[in-house]
Chain A
Amino acid sequence: MALIEDNNQRRPSRAPLSEQVWPFLKATLLTLGSIAVTLLGLLFITFTIGRVMPIDPVLAIVGERASQSTYDAVYYQLGLDKPLIVQFLYYLWDVLHLDFGTSLLNARPVSEDIVRVFPATLELATIGIFFGVVLGVPLGVLAAVRKGSWIDQIARVVALVGYSMPIFWLGLMGLLVFYGILGWVGGPGRVGIFYVDVVPNVTGLILVDSLLDGNWDVFKNAFSHIILPASLLGYYSLAYVSRMTRSFMLEQLSSEYITTARVKGMSEWDVVWKHAFKNIRVQLITVIALSYANLLEGSVLTEIIFSWPGIGSYITTALLSADMNAVLGGTVVVGLIFILLNIFSDLLYKVFDPRAK
């Protein structure tokens, strides 16, 4: 009994369980609510734009020489005669059942198409952002620490070229030099023709599937095809990430606590990485998450030049063909990625920044 009393005295006073759970539940519900509202808004805006823009989904199906009766039949079949809000509610009901409808053009479920094209973009964007972060962050830190030095100048030029060079041009030149002339990398497409459909499609990520299958030849070939477009996308991320890192670091390095650390005799390595860099992690997470989200959205031009069957070219082709089900499905997926990455970076804030807890 005495022991229990003693324990009670030493135990910090804790709120009842309901009070501990409620904030967590509230935060979760708020997050889910904001996802739902954002998605609903995204769906409504995309749906409305799709219906009012001057492209005709009926014409895309029946062709320009169809008779008026054929045109009318398809018009009613698509439900275009109903009020816009009714059309939207029907669509919303289907989406809630994970049914994005059927592609007007290839007659396949849009969800199947997205499952097919999204891994191609995911693979490309992930390797791209890896290059961008692994090279861009150290470059930005170095440029800030050695401000005005030749390293800073090189970083500036690298970023400037990355910002200003059209990706179309850079992609074609990269293909010409590294594929056409030097033959160091594979050409357009995800794999060479001899390796198409060689490994079973498990994840849709060829690099992963070939490793799972233990097929080293397919892995090497796929890697030779992805390396150039991924480096290209990585380069654009690098330009952005390195400039932002430099800017964040300069702000920290001019702070008083850094001067104090130096006065205390702390090594430059510790000053830069253990103090200054530690304090820019939260801002960097936002920059990297946004950069990654942009890549996952699908870089249409890169996908076109490299014949990369990803979500960017899928949505663009669908848009040009007036295939609104495919456009809406693709847009919802891209929107969802943005939202999830935002939530993910919010969670990381809480890990790295005690004030956010």
Chain B
Amino acid sequence: MNALNKLLTSAAIGLAVGVTSFSAMAETPANMLVIANRIDDVTTVDPAESFEFAGSDISRNVYNRLVNLDPMDLAAGYKPDLAESWDVSEDGKTITFTMREGVKFHSGNPVRAEDAAFSLQRAVILNKTPAFILTQFGFTPENATETIRADDNKLIITTDKKYATSFVLNCLTSTIGGIVDKETVMANEVDGDMGNTWLKTNSAGSGPYILSGWKPNESVTLTSNPDYYGGAPAMERVIVRHVIESASQRLLLERGDIDIARNLNPEDIAGVLSADGVKVEDELKGRLMYLALNQKNPVLAKPEVRQAFKYLVDYEGMKNSFLKGQYTIHQNFLPATYLGASDENPFSYNIEKAKELLAAAGVEGLEVEIGVREAQERIEIGQSFQNAAAQAGIKVNITVGTAKQILARYRSRDIDVYLGAWGPDYPDPQTNAGTFAYNPDNSDAANATGLLAWRTGWDAGGLTEKVEAAVTEGDREKRVQMYLDIQKEFREISPFVVMFQQIEQSAMRDNVTNWSTGQAVTSAAYWQVTK
């Protein structure tokens, strides 16, 4: 739908709502939560494989982990879940978890340390996309049964070297840390797949909800687990309906046929704010928008030029116009709400300052190409940057293309400037520090396409060692300070212009309380929701 259509639709809906009250308002039952969301990214619900947003939402509510994040107190970090407590060995390499007694899987089987060991070993052996979250600790398909083992009621994991305990435990709160019912899963094993095919569409967890139905691109139905160790959830049934169109979500919400709409566009958010019985809640998410300046371009590699680009972004202008309500200004690689996140945003839109810096670098008549993937908000950011740069005498040529075209050039270090979006993989600062500020080998031969610093051709210098040190720091407070220091240096010297952090706006009926989409660190939780 083009912008005019959107505007006209919103205006018409707004006008009609303004002059007419909805007739015969429907209302969902008090013990049922109905959510409209885009769920076409769900490809599997196996926790060893799931790596998408909507899939992670399902997993978070169906599977317990050893340690977990409390949706009512996300700032507190990980808390005991299936592991009641844990001890760390003196050398910092072995963590022994003591399992909670009396917890049962949905099948009725007891949750044992053996199940926990099997779940983590399975994730390592299957080696699906998110497996790196565990294998970064030295677990391999070959050594998994020795490094991850059960001993009576204890689960013992041994890493290849000392890591910060908070790093290991944060990783275990992610989707891949979900504990599955070994007996049920292995009963459904086909051709040695450790139940992977079966678990793609079925669940075998112990969490507050049981997956009772998933129709791709249609709906997900969860039923409450009456035996959940934390107490049966208030919402006995949760239905997530796949509704793509924002205006359709809005109508469903205003009619009372759904409780929560998760994908309203800014026009519809503005519209529902004036509707009776509807409220909007904002949560910061992990997605960052950034510019990466290729250091293989000798002009862009000049420190003053890198600095100048940071003054050529109209942060406030974009935030208050086409990004309104959807993004906030954020100039650090750790998203707000992360351990060690910084709220320092020193750069502002300043053409004169940028000109001074360019002059100091002896740069005149610079012409650069910026690669932008074909998404509306990215194209608009690119155009805003193009206008600002023109005022400082830089000619910016925008190349719009598909992910394959643009990303392939970024991964092969073949584009001057890349306008990118990045979301963290797991709720620990290492997830972003390890890609933005870490690059042990900047040579072409290293081909470290997984690292953003390498893709940008940037030898992160001393920051690489600092990131390595932060990963092994056992003291949580010291670790926080280390990340703050890394980010301070990164802001000044890096070729990354981090600009914005995403906000998720959920519109909901005003009787819905305790809603949580999980902020930047985790996924949506339903068990604490009441109506």
- A complexed with B: yes
Which of A's residues lie within 8 Å of B, judged by CB? 54-56, 59, 61-68, 70-71, 103, 105-108, 113, 116, 166, 168-169, 172-173, 175-177, 179-183, 187-189, 192-193, 196-197, 304-307, 309, 313-314, 317, 321
Q: Which residues of A contact B1 (CB under 8 A)?
A: 168
Given A62-B129, A175-B248, A306-B248, A106 and B42 contact (CB-CB distance below 8 Å): yes
User: Is B51 in the interface zone, CB < 8 Å from A?
Assistant: yes
Given A54-B405, A66-B129, A309-B217, A183 and B23 contact (CB-CB distance below 8 Å): yes
Q: How far is the CB of A52 from chain B (nearest CB, A)?
A: 12
User: Is B40 in the interface zone, CB < 8 Å from A?
Assistant: yes
Q: Which residues of B contact A183 (CB under 8 A)?
A: 22-24, 255
**Contact between B215 and A309 (Cβ–Cβ < 8 Å)?**
yes
Which of B's residues lie within 8 Å of A, judged by CB? 1, 5, 8-9, 12-13, 16-17, 20, 22-24, 28, 32, 34, 40, 42-44, 51, 129, 197, 200-201, 213, 215-219, 221, 239, 241-245, 247-248, 251-252, 254-255, 257, 401-405, 407-408, 425, 435, 447, 449-450
Q: How far is the CB of B414 from chain A (nearest CB, A)?
A: 15
Q: Which 7 A-B pairs have the closest CB atoms?
A: A56-B404, A183-B23, A183-B24, A309-B218, A105-B43, A106-B216, A188-B248
The docked-state distance in angstroms from the alpha carbon of A192 to that of B5 is 28
Q: Which residues of A contact B402 (CB under 8 A)?
A: 54-55
Given A188-B252, A321-B40, A55 and B217 contact (CB-CB distance below 8 Å): no
**Contact between B16 and A176 (Cβ–Cβ < 8 Å)?**
yes
**Contact between B404 and A55 (Cβ–Cβ < 8 Å)?**
yes
Q: Which residues of A contact B8 (CB under 8 A)?
A: 169
Given A68-B449, A105-B43, A197-B213, A187 and B257 contact (CB-CB distance below 8 Å): yes
Q: Which of A56, A187, A188, A314 contacts B217 (CB 8 A)?
A: A314
**Contact between A189 and B241 (Cβ–Cβ < 8 Å)?**
yes
Q: Which residues of A contact B254 (CB under 8 A)?
A: 180
Q: Which of A166, A176, A189, A196 contacts B13 (CB 8 A)?
A: A176
Given A55-B402, A113-B216, A304 and B244 contact (CB-CB distance below 8 Å): yes
Given A67-B450, A108-B201, A196 and B221 contact (CB-CB distance below 8 Å): yes
**Contact between B200 and A187 (Cβ–Cβ < 8 Å)?**
no
**Contact between A107 and B200 (Cβ–Cβ < 8 Å)?**
yes
Q: Besides A65-B435, A108-B201, 15 other CB < 8 A contacts? A: A56-B403, A59-B407, A67-B449, A68-B449, A169-B5, A169-B8, A175-B247, A181-B16, A188-B245, A193-B28, A193-B32, A196-B239, A305-B248, A309-B215, A321-B40
Given A55-B404, A56-B404, A309-B218, A107 and B44 contact (CB-CB distance below 8 Å): yes
**Contact between A181 and B22 (Cβ–Cβ < 8 Å)?**
yes
Q: Which residues of A contact B13 (CB under 8 A)?
A: 172, 176, 180
Given A67-B450, A168-B5, A193-B257, A317 and B40 contact (CB-CB distance below 8 Å): yes
Q: Which residues of B contact A68 (CB under 8 A)?
A: 447, 449
Q: How far is the CB of A253 from chain B (nearest CB, A)?
A: 41
Q: How far is the CB of A310 from chain B (nearest CB, A)?
A: 10
Q: Which residues of A contact B23 (CB under 8 A)?
A: 181-183
The docked-state distance in angstroms from the alpha carbon of A64 to that of B9 is 35
Q: How far is the CB of A40 from chain B (nearest CB, A)?
A: 28
**Contact between A106 and B450 (Cβ–Cβ < 8 Å)?**
no
Given A179-B255, A183-B23, A106 and B407 contact (CB-CB distance below 8 Å): no
The docked-state distance in angstroms from the alpha carbon of A107 to that of B46 is 12
Q: How far is the CB of B515 from chain A (nearest CB, A)?
A: 18
The docked-state distance in angstroms from the alpha carbon of A304 to that of B213 is 22
Q: Which residue of A lies closest to B237 (CB)?
A: A193
Given A176-B12, A176-B13, A188 and B407 contact (CB-CB distance below 8 Å): no
**Contact between B217 and A313 (Cβ–Cβ < 8 Å)?**
yes
Q: Which residues of B contact A305 (CB under 8 A)?
A: 245, 247-248
The docked-state distance in angstroms from the alpha carbon of A172 to that of B51 is 34
**Contact between B251 and A179 (Cβ–Cβ < 8 Å)?**
yes
Q: Which residues of A contact B449 (CB under 8 A)?
A: 67-68, 71
The docked-state distance in angstroms from the alpha carbon of A113 to that of B218 is 12
Q: Which residue of A lies closest to B44 (CB)?
A: A107
**Contact between B219 and A196 (Cβ–Cβ < 8 Å)?**
yes
Q: Which residue of B lies closest to A181 (CB)?
A: B20
Q: Which residue of A lies closest to B451 (CB)?
A: A65
The docked-state distance in angstroms from the alpha carbon of A7 to that of B23 is 79
**Contact between B16 and A180 (Cβ–Cβ < 8 Å)?**
yes
Q: Which residues of B contact A54 (CB under 8 A)?
A: 401-402, 404-405
**Contact between A187 and B215 (Cβ–Cβ < 8 Å)?**
no
Q: Which residues of A contact B16 (CB under 8 A)?
A: 176-177, 180-181
The docked-state distance in angstroms from the alpha carbon of A65 to that of B9 is 38
**Contact between A169 and B407 (Cβ–Cβ < 8 Å)?**
no
Given A59-B407, A175-B251, A193 and B213 contact (CB-CB distance below 8 Å): no
Q: How far is the CB of A286 from chain B (nearest CB, A)?
A: 33
The docked-state distance in angstroms from the alpha carbon of A68 to that of B411 is 10
Q: How far is the CB of A198 from chain B (nearest CB, A)?
A: 12
Q: Which of A63, A65, A188, A321 contacts B243 (CB 8 A)?
A: A188
With most chain B CB atoms within 10 A of its CB, the pick from A54, A55, A188, A304 is A188
Q: Which residue of B lies closest to A70 (CB)?
A: B129
